[in-house]
Structure formats: structure tokens, C-alpha cells
Chains A and B, each alone.
Chain A
Amino acid sequence: MSGRLAAAAVQNRLAEADRAGLNATLAWSAAALAAEADRVDALPEPGLLQNLPVAVKDNIVTTGLPTTCGSRILEGYRSPFNATVIDRLRAAGAMIACKTNLDEFAMGSSTEHSAFGRVLHPMDPTRVPGGSSGGSAALVAAGVVPVALGSETGGSVRQPASFCGVIGVKPTYGRVSRYGLVAFGSSLDCVSVFARTVADAGRVLGVIAGPDSRDATTLAASPIVVAHAGVSLAGTTIGVPREYFPGDLDPGVRAACDAALLRMRELGAAIVEVSLPHSSLAVPAYYILAPAEAAANLARFDGARYGVRAPVAGDLRELYRATRGSGFGPEVRRRILVGTYVLSAGYYDAYYARAQTARRRIAGDFAAAFASGVDLLFTPTTPTTAFRAGEKTGDPVAMYLADVFVCPASLAGLPAMSLPIGRSEGLPVGGQLIAPSLAEAKMLSLAAVLEGALDPTAEVRR
């Protein structure tokens, strides 16, 4: 199929999704799609991702479409350069299909905090698709695009992947360049991938991964090569951290995880219980560290050089106050305030320094588990299935706790993924795999086996 045909097909599906009111896209155009199609058709040789339409979270900069980060403050902003991941996708023959809706500056767990309206869950419009990469998750789940880029700071791809019933893969921190990913929590941010199959996720990840001279934190690591999926898990040891199966875990989620573990045992895996004792520190530590970095990262949005500038008559302070006060939404303002506070003179040691210590302990827990002979960890991705819109918007802490199982791997910089393992009351349940640093290939290989062994659309029996 030529690029033109692929572009026309995705254009129809995007239009249909918009008509259905999914609100998953922030920007796309027939003209931009046509240009992409012509470009890939003109490539001298077909690439690894030839003609593949990719939806891109709107905090990854693109020259062809605006980049708003779901914020008023960047409304209409057009980047003069492409993110490294965009360059790599395009060079491999992929087409940038659209920019997707997100929680403003990727801060949120439901995609309700977008300045441009909430994204609907594709299977139940009263529910959220998760977040912050909810637009990308919804488009893949709705079959509009086969793959999409999202970004993770504290689980923003795995959590919506779980809610929407698709695959979401977060690589090792530093595996994929952050150049062109609008920074939120720079020590945590990872460009991540949504897909409907493990193979597609692996292919896209393989293309975007690798060192980048524009990002000093990228790692020089051997490429991700996913072994051809067998059917046996013999010789594989799966660790099950007990802290991820608390008493109040949603019964449907628990049942789906139990069924998946049973299946893994049947396939020959050894299942062992492990402990990650500092897990409960993850969300509190995350909500100190990420806002601290965010407060600095978002300081550049001051109305002086680009983006929206509030009309003011007063002095410089008035300009900053008016621009930032009206340009940022309430969740972003909350995190900037928290981040500013925890780094303030006299509070640094009490908050930021302690959170760093917690982060090291969490990473130490994982290191100890993997050193004990565990190949991969298996946990539920989220404590519940997709919740209802509005259910947690009035209670930030309840919203933050939706990320309780995804935050720890982010803090440890480890590769992790969510894959659909069943349904509870009709809604997808995600299982999470967490791997040692740079062991994406091993993680994806195991996920491919599970993908073939589980029916993600089957209702779990409790």
C-alpha cells in the first residue's frame, strides 16, 4: 500500500473519531497527512516503519503540526524543529498522523486536565482513558492508528494503556532521546510507545531508541532485539511483589492478575513472591521530585519570547503573573507551587533531599529483587479499571494514587510495560511487567508469549 492510501485511510478514521467526540486529537490536517504521504512515497528505500501512521502526544514537538502541551500558554505554538523521535520515525518511513490530547504538560492521570477538554474512554464515554497520554491511548484503542507515542514521567503511558486495553511500553530512562519532548520531570521523562501488538511496540521502540548527541542523558546501549516469541516460559522466574497486591485491590484486577500468573506458571515460569518494601514511598517521593523539576522546567513559559502573553499594563512582575496565572491550568499551577516550595531555602532537606533518598531506596529494592534471581516482575498496572470522569478531579491525592503501581519503576528508571490481560465488568485490566535496566528485549519477548497465551477481551472469573 502506498503512503497516499495509508494516509487516506487514517484520515477517514481520524475524522470519524472526531465526529464521535472522542476529543483525542489536538491537531491534524488532510494537507499535513498528504505531505507526509508524499514524503514517505519519495523515500529512496522503504523504511522499517514504511507507511505506518503514528499519533504523537502533543508534548513532543513537530514542525508540521502545532505543539500545545494541552495548555493555553502554548496555544498555536509551532516548533521550529522536530523532536529526535519524530526525525527517527519519519526517516524510517512512518507518517506523523496527528497530535494527541493530554493532561496539560502531562500532569494528570485522566486526561481531564487538558485546556482543550477531556478525552473520552473509547469503550465508555462516561469514563476516563487514563492519563496523561490519554489521547494517544484512546486513538490506539479505538483503532484509529496502530501505534502512538506518549510520554511517561510517572506512568503516563502504562496507566492509560491499562485503562484502554492496549500495550504501553516505557523504556529504560535514557534509552530514547528526550530532545523535543517538552520537559516535565527531566530525570523521569521517557518517550514511550502505545501499540495494539507487542511486535509493533517493539518495532517502533527499536526505531526511536538509541543515543542522541542532542540529549546528554541518552545511553550508549546495544539495540533492542526482540527474540522470536516461543510458547514456553520454562526457565523464566517471575517475581510478584506483595506490596502491589494490597487488601483493597479491586477484585476484578486481582482476579485478572491471578489468572495471568496461573497461565505463566502453566507455560513453565517459576513464580516467586518478592518484597519491594519502599514501594509506599513512591507516590509521595514522586510528587515532590517531579513538581520540583517541573517548576524549573516550566519557568520558561513567561510570555517573553513565545506562546501566549497576557495583555498587561503593569511591570515585569505583572506580565509574569498575568501570563502564567491565566496561561496555566489549576493542576499545573498546583505543581509549580509545590515544586517551588519544596526547593525553597530551609525546606530543601526536609522535602527534596528526603525524596531523593526515598528514590534511591526504591531503586535499591528493584536491584535487590533482580539480584535475587528474578527475571521480571509482574504486577497489576493500576489498582482499578478506568474510573468515571469527574470522580477524582476534586481530590488530587486520590488522582495521584491511580499511579501507585506505575510510579516506582519511573523513579528507578527501569523499563516497564502494561499489556491487557482480561476484562473486569467489560473494562480492560492491564498487567505490568517491570524489567532490569536495559532489558527491554527480555521484557518484550515475555510479553509476546503472554500476548499469545491470554485473551485480553475475556471477562475475568472471580
Chain B
Amino acid sequence: MIWETVIGLEVHVQLGTRSKLFCGCSAGFGDPPNTNVCPVCLGLPGALPVPNAMAVRLAIRAALALGCRVHERSIFARKSYFYPDLPKGYQISQFDRPLATGGRLLVDSADRGSVAVSIQRLHLEEDAGKLLHDRIPGKTAIDLNRAGVPLAEIVSGPDLHSPEDARTYLTALKQILVYAEVSDCSMEKGSLRVDGNISVRRAGETALGTKTEIKNLNSFANLERALAAERDRQIEILERGGQVDQVTLLFNAGTGSVRPMRSKEASHDYRYFDDPDLPPLVVGAGLLEETGAELPELPSAKRLRLMSVYGLGAYDAGVLASERPIADYFEAVCRAGADPKGAANWIINERGEYPEPASLAELIALVAAGTVSHQAARKIYPELAGGSSPRAVAERLGLLQVGEADALGPWVDEVIAAHPDEVRRFRAGDSRLLAFLTGQVMKRSRGTANPQGVQAMLARKLEGS
């Protein structure tokens, strides 16, 4: 039996605002517990939410980057459930009237080429706090620093057909959101979180199978592992003639397996209704246009442009376009006069802090002119970080290739004078001795001479006189 896997991802990204979604508290990460709190995010009696315009702007930017339609009016809704990390007993989210719908993201599938993954919706919501089980022995503490931090939830269509594709999609999504400066998308800091919906069906069927949801996939690798484990579990059940139950699962990274959440954890009736504290969120044409203008060139467009404008190959262009600062740096180096292919090679192969674009451009030019050897250039490169000029570094380290007659002449003359026997044998026709004599000159130059230049001068002097 051939099975087809169907996967959709629900991704939460923390919007990169300074303050929270409905109050002025810092949205910073890593501060001591309960220091970034106020009556609003603590849910104190009488406090009311007021939307953060910057969060709305970043969510719009994300929606536009993903090709979504941003709705002129969207509605904040209350999602009710009791949990100690949820100060109001409800989360302010968006439900039946989300900020944006109907986008798509192109991803390179391992086995299907470039495919468009639909983005069903993107909505704004506030984060909950965090329970700390290890601070006070025998007790659970609550840290509400994160409560009210702005999130965008991005829901893909069931368009992914393998755990690998799911990972590729998440990578592309992260890339585009980091690019657009919507979020830092750090899984370690919790600013990128992902839940996976997965079902399998017989190849060729169009109806979807029963899906399960896997929560808290906390790394790219675990996303792929968990989905693969769940795919295999579902196929095994179906091949035995069984039925998949619609359950919510948790992935155990230690064992590599999934287990169902207790039904109490999973079965919620959220009793959504429009939040009366917040008027409809209105995104006018002006704001939409302004936000659109803030949107940078996105990775796929940049890759194509790097190929067409700079004549790079698809691989080089892809690597450079994968991160906006790298692509920007590449272009700056080219603007400083470097050969694009040479610049791409340097940027892709060198790690660590990049030197000033002009410095790298100069270094590339020195190599091209034969002033320093490639080998020498690799020694010069790490010294450029402080802003030093490549030529100065080369001089300081004695790495300039000596090709000029002025410098070579004395060494060549000395070698001819010091080796009369070998000179006579060369003149008698033993041409192998040219290599010996060249070596002697190189030795005197301590390797800085250009060997071709040395050879040429030796031959001229010995044959001409």
C-alpha cells in the first residue's frame, strides 16, 4: 500500500515589538520573573487592553510578505479557558475575522520541486505567561513577563506531504519573517513555536484522513522527527485495519515518540466571542500602503536578482540570499568594485566577522592583479576586521608578491654571481638548471617574489648576455 502524508503547520511567531500587545510593558526576554508586568497584563480588576500599533504593523508586514489579503476590518475575540498562566481567564486572539487570509509561500520540496504552500490565515494574539516548576520546592510559580507579548499565528494549508517538506516550509517561513524584520524567530527564546497537523491517506485519494495534532515541536529537527514518527504510527494503525483517533499529541524528544495528551488537557470549548473591549481593527489603505513600502526585497526575489544582475549561479545566489545581512554585504562589496564571483566565493567560504566591504573589495583586487597570492590573501583576511587596508597588512606581514624588475634584479644578479658553475651548465644547454636558479632567487626573496617573474628575468639575463 502506498500512503500519502498530509501536513499543515500552525506557527506562532513573536512579533519584534519593544512592548506588549495591549499594554506598554516590555516584551523583552530573560528578565527576572514578573518584572515586566502592569495592571493590564496582570488582568487586574478594571484594567483594559489597548492595541499596540507597532504589533499591528508587523503583523501586516508578515501578512504582506506571505502574499496574504489583509482585511480592512478584523475582530479581536476572547478565547476562554482557565489556566494559571492566563491572567484574565481568556486570551485575546482573533477567531472568525482574522487580520489576513489567503497567502502562499513558495518552497523547494525535496521531491516535488518548487511548490506553493497556501497560508490559510494570519492573526494577532497575545501570549500567555509561564509556569515555573523549579523555583520553589513543592510549588508552582507563575511568571507573567510573557503574558501579553504579541504573537502572529500563521496557519498553512494541508499542502505539505512529507516531514522534510514541513521542515523546508518552516525554514522558508522563518527566513521570510526574519528578512521582513517581523520576528527574530528564535526557537530557543520561544519566539518561533510550531504545532503540526498530520494525516495520511491512500495515494490517489482526495478526502483527508483523520488528523492528529502534535504540540510543542521545539526545534527544526524535532519537527521532522515527530512528524515522521506520527506518520509511521498512523500508517501502521491503518495497515492493521484500525482507525486513527483525532487526538492531540506531545512529542518526546528523548524517546523520539509521540504520546496523547490527557483528554482534560486537550478538550476545550473555548467559547469564542468578539472582545467588547476592542473595537474592530481597521487597516486603511494608507496603512496598508505604508507597511507595504517598508517590506524589503524577499529572499526568492533577491536570489533571482543576484543571479541576473551579478551573473551568479543558483547555489551561490541562494546561499547569499538566505540571510538579508549577508546579501546586503555581498552587494556592498560589489559596489566597492569587487568582481561578483570573487566576492561570492569569499563571502560564502569565510566565516566570522566580515571586514569593511571596501577592504574585501581591495583584497579581491590585489589577488586578481597578482599583487598577493591567494594563499597570502587568506592570511591577510582575518587581519582586516579592525579596518586595516589589505595592502598595509600585506606589507606588514611581508606578503606582497614581488614582481617588479627593480626589486628582483639584485637578487637575480647575486644568484648568477654566486653560482658560476650552474650558469655555465645552463648556457651549455642543461635547461633543468633554470628551476634550481629560480629556487635560489625565491629563497633570497623569502618567498615574496613572483616565481614566473623570476624565471623570466633569469632566462632573459642568461640567454641575452
Contact = CB atoms under 8 A, between A and B. Distances in A.
Interface of A: 60-61, 67, 69, 74, 77, 79-81, 83, 178-183, 185-187, 213-217, 292-293, 295-296, 298-300, 302, 304-306, 316, 320, 340, 343-345, 348, 352
A213 to B, nearest CB: 7
B448 interface: no
B132 interface: no
A61 B80 contact: no
Contacts of B47: 81, 179-180
Contacts of A67: 45-46
A292 B273 contact: yes
Given A81-B39, A316-B84, A343-B273, A296 B142 contact: no
B277 A300 contact: no
Given A214-B50, A296-B80, 13 more contacts: A61-B46, A77-B45, A79-B45, A81-B39, A182-B45, A183-B46, A299-B80, A300-B87, A305-B87, A306-B44, A340-B271, A343-B272, A348-B273
Q: What are the 10 A-B residue pairs with the smallest beta carbon separation, nearest first?
A: A299-B89, A187-B276, A343-B271, A186-B276, A180-B46, A61-B46, A182-B45, A300-B43, A304-B84, A345-B269
A187 B274 CA distance: 10
B348 interface: no
A302 B45 CA distance: 12
B436 interface: no
Number of contact residues on B: which range applies?
Answer: 20 to 34
A185 B45 CA distance: 13
Nearest to A187: B276
B158 interface: no
19 contacts: A61-B45, A79-B45, A80-B44, A81-B44, A81-B46, A185-B276, A187-B276, A214-B50, A217-B279, A292-B273, A293-B276, A296-B88, A296-B273, A302-B89, A305-B43, A305-B142, A316-B82, A343-B80, A343-B272
Contacts of B451: none
Nearest to B43: A300
Given A296-B78, A302-B89, A216 B46 contact: no
Contacts of A296: 78, 80, 88-90, 271, 273
B392 interface: no
Contacts of B39: 79-81
Given A80-B39, A316-B84, A216 B89 contact: no
B46 A213 contact: no
Given A81-B39, A300-B88, A302-B84, A344 B46 contact: no
A291 B278 CA distance: 18
Contacts of A216: 48-51, 277-279
Nearest to B268: A345
Interface in B21-72: 39, 42-51
Contacts of A316: 82, 84
